C-alpha cells in the first residue's frame, strides 16, 4: 500500500461529482506542484483505459507537464489512432517520481508491475475511476460509479480546470465514452452522456473513426482466440462459459490478457443470465471476464473472487490450474444466478 501519511486522504462520494468540491482544487494543486508525474492504467487495457491514459498526457501538456504513460501490457493496435498511444511505456520504470495518477483501476493490484515494481517509498497517488468496487487505494480518490467511463470523469475534471478541449483531447475522451458504453448502448447511458459526446464531437472528435477503430475492428489473433472460445463453450443453469488454454492462446497468436469482447457475446445469448470467459495465462494464473444483463450482477461475483468491476461487467484473476479456476467460477456464477433470480 502507499504511504498515507505523505498526503491527506480525500475521497469524493461515489454518487456525487460537484465541480466546486475541494477535491478538484486538491488534485490540481498536486499536479501543478509535481515535476515528475507517472500515469498508470490497468493490465490488459481496454478502450477507456488507453483513452484515459492518453487524455491525461494530452491535457497536462497544456500546463507544460511531462507525464510518463505506463501499462503492463502493450496498447492494442486498434487504439493506435489515439494521440500519444505510441508513447505508452511498459515497466519497469525506475526514475524518481513526485506524483502517480492511477486511471480506470478498481484496486492497487490492477496496475500490476507498473505500480508494484516502483521504488519505495512511493509518492502520493491520485485514484481516478468509475468502478463500483473501487477500494479507494489512493491518497486522493476521485471515484464516481455513476459515470459511464473514466474519461467522463476526466471530462468534468478538465473542464472544471478550464483546460482547452482540443481535437486531440476530445478524441481521447470520446473514445473512452464510446467503448465503455459499447456505442451508447449500456445501462447508465443517459442524456448527460450524450450531451458530453456532443460537446466532444463539436470540439473535433471523429465519432465514425472512434466507432470503426475501437468497436468494429478486430485483430486476426482476436478472432482466432474467439474461435477456440466458441468451440469450448458450455451452457448450464443460465450460465454460458468457456475456457481457453495457454496453448490455445499461443496458437491464436494472442498476447493480451483479455478476450477482447468474447464475454459480451456469451452474455448476449438470449437464454443466458451470465457469460464467463476463463483464460489460462502464461504465468499459470487464470484471467476471468464476466458479463450479464439486468437484473443480474457479476460485480458481486467478481468481488467475492477477489476481483471487481461493474454490476454488468467485471473480472478477476485466479490461481491455476485452469480446471480448478473453472470450477470456482462456474460454481460461483451458478450460485449467484440462483440467488439473484429469487431476489428479482
CA 4 to each of CA 26, 44, 125: distance values in angstroms, whole numbers, following the listed order: 15, 28, 9
Which runs of E-coded beta strand occur in the chain?
10-11, 37-41, 67-70, 99-103, 125-129, 140-143, 234-236, 239-244, 274-280, 286-292, 308-309, 313-318
Residues 161 and 228 in one domain: no
Q: How confident is the model at residue 109 (pLDDT cuts 50, 70, 90)?
A: very high
Is the pLDDT at 325 greater than 70, yes or no? yes
Helix axes 150-161, 167-180, angle to 10 degrees: 150
**Would you place residue 7 in the very low, low, confident or very high pLDDT band (cuts 50, 70, 90)?**
very low
Peptide bond into 295 cis (omega under 30): yes
pLDDT band at residue 16, thresholds of 50, 70 and 90? very low
Domain count, the chain: 2
Instruction: Mark which of 215, 231, 266 sits at the end of a domain.
Output: 215
Residues 284 and 141 in one domain: no
pLDDT digits (tens, 9 = 90+) for 125-184: 999 999 988 999 999 999 998 999 999 999 999 999 999 999 999 999 999 999 999 999
Provide the β-strand partners of residue 292. Answer: 274
Q: Domain of residue 327: give its range.
A: 220-343
What single DSSP character describes residue 63? G
The residue among 20 and 141 whose pLDDT is bigger is 141
One domain for residues 12 and 156: yes
CB hemisphere CA count around 146 (13 angstroms): 9
- Tens of pLDDT, residue by residue over 253-281, are 988 777 888 999 999 999 999 999 999 99
For residue 175, cis peptide bond before it (omega within 30 degrees of 0)? no
Domain boundary, last residue among 180, 215, 250: 215
Helix axes of 150-161 and 191-202: crossing angle, nearest 10 degrees = 60
Is residue 211 located within the same domain as residue 264? no
Contact 14, 146 (CB under 8 A): yes
Same domain, 326 and 207: no
CB count in 10 Å sphere of residue 282: 10
pTM for this model (two decimals): 0.86
181 with 108, same domain?
yes
Whether cis (ω within 30° of 0) applies to the bond prior to 321 is yes
| Contacts (Cβ under 8 Å, ≥6 apart) of 200 | 155, 165, 170, 171, 173, 174, 177
- Rounded to the nearest 10 degrees, the angle between the axes of helix 47-60 and helix 150-161 is 10
Pick from 257, 178, 268, 266: nearest CA to 221: 257
- Closest-CA residue to 151 (of 60, 76, 54, 34): 54
Please enumerate in sequence order all residues whose Cβ is within 8 A of that of 22, keeping only pairs 6 or more positions apart, or say none.
Answer: 10
Asked whether residue 20 falls in the same domain as residue 57, the answer is yes
Q: Which of 215, 250, 271 is the last residue of a domain?
A: 215
Percent of the chain scoring above 90 in pLDDT? 85
One domain for residues 8 and 92: yes
pLDDT given at position 18: 52
Q: Is the pLDDT of residue 9 over 50?
A: no
Q: Residue 292 belongs to a domain with what CATH number?
A: 3.10.310.30
Amino acid at each position: 500500500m502507499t504511504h498515507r501519511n505523505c498526503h491527506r486522504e480525500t475521497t469524493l462520494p461515489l454518487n456525487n461529482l460537484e465541480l466546486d468540491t475541494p477535491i478538484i482544487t486538491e488534485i490540481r494543486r498536486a499536479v501543478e506542484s509535481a515535476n515528475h508525474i507517472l500515469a498508470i492504467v490497468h493490465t490488459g487495457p481496454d478502450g477507456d483505459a488507453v483513452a484515459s491514459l492518453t487524455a491525461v498526457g494530452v491535457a497536462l501538456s497544456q500546463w507544460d507537464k511531462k507525464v510518463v504513460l505506463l501499462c503492463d501490457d502493450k496498447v492494442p493496435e486498434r487504439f493506435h489512432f489515439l494521440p500519444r498511444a505510441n508513447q505508452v511505456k511498459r515497466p519497469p520504470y525506475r526514475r524518481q517520481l513526485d506524483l502517480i495518477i492511477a486511471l480506470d483501476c478498481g484496486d492497487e493490484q490492477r496496475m500490476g508491475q507498473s505500480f508494484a515494481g516502483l521504488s519505495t517509498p512511493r509518492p502520493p497517488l491520485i485514484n481516478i475511476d468509475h468502478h463500483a468496487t473501487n477500494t479507494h487505494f489512493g491518497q486522493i480518490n476521485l471515484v464516481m460509479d455513476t459515470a459511464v467511463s473514466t474519461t467522463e470523469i476526466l471530462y468534468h475534471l478538465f473542464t472544471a480546470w478550464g483546460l482547452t478541449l482540443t481535437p486531440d483531447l476530445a478524441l481521447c475522451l470520446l473514445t473512452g465514452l464510446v467503448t465503455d458504453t459499447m456505442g451508447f448502448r449500456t445501462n447508465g447511458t443517459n442524456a448527460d452522456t450524450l450531451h458530453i459526446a456532443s460537446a466532444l464531437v463539436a470540439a473535433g472528435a471523429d465519432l465514425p473513426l472512434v466507432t470503426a477503430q475501437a468497436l468494429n475492428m478486430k485483430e486476426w489473433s482476436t478472432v482466432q482466440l474467439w474461435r477456440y472460445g466458441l468451440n469450448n463453450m458450455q451452457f448450464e443453469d443460465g450460465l454460458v462459459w468457456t475456457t481457453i488454454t495457454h496453448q490455445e492462446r499461443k496458437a491464436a497468436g494472442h498476447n493480451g490478457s483479455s478476450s477482447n469482447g468474447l464475454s459480451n457475446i456469451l452474455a448476449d445469448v438470449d437464454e443466458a443470465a451470465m457469460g464467463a470467459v476463463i483464460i489460462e495465462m502464461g504465468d499459470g494464473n487464470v484471467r476471468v471476464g464476466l458479463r450479464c444483463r439486468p437484473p443480474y450482477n457479476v460485480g458481486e461475483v467478481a468481488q467475492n473472487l477477489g476481483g471487481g468491476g461493474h454490476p454488468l461487467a467485471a473480472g478477476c484473476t485466479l490461481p491455476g490450474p485452469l480446471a480448478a479456476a473453472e470450477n470456482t467460477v462456474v460454481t460461483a456464477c451458478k450460485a449467484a444466478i440462483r440467488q439473484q433470480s429469487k431476489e428479482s
